[in-house]
């Protein structure tokens, strides 16, 4: 897949997640968070008011640390695709 097509699919997957009204399972949210951060090269610290949430987010980022930007985009797309495939 070309980089341009990957970027388009990634943005569509992000829009799909943002438009979803029902809550996601916590493990899915953490994976989405980590893949998104890696895909967008956003290495800022988690900013939740609750320390435990920051700890979970930091752990999710640590687990995704070996992914390159394009790999993280593809992982995000795959996760979103599979999530909605089995929910609709």
Question: Which domains does the chain possess?
Answer: 3-85 (1.20.80.10)
Per-residue pLDDT reduced to its tens digit, 59-78: 999 999 999 999 999 999 99
Q: How far apart are CA 35 and CA 14, in angstroms?
A: 11
SS3 helix, strand, coil % of the chain, rounded to 5? 70, 0, 30
CA–CA separation, 6 and 74 (whole Å)? 7
Residue listed under structure tokens 């029902």: 22
CA distance 21 to 39: 23
Question: What's the pTM value of the predicted model, to 2 decimals?
Answer: 0.90
> Quick one: pLDDT at residue 88?
58
Each residue's pLDDT tens digit, 4-47: 899 999 999 999 999 999 999 999 999 999 999 999 988 777 88
Distance CA 54, CA 45 (A): 8
Q: For residue 22, what is the DSSP state? A: S
């Amino acid at each position: 897949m070309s980089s341009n097509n990957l970027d388009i699919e990634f943005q569509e997957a992000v829009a799909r997640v943002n438009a979803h009204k029902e809550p996601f399972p916590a493990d899915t949210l953490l994976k989405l968070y980590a893949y998104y951060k890696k895909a967008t090269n956003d290495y800022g610290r988690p900013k939740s008011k609750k320390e435990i949430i920051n700890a979970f987010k930091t752990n999710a980022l640590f687990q995704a640390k070996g992914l390159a930007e394009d790999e993280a985009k593809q992982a995000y797309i795959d996760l979103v695709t599979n999530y909605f495939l089995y929910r609709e």
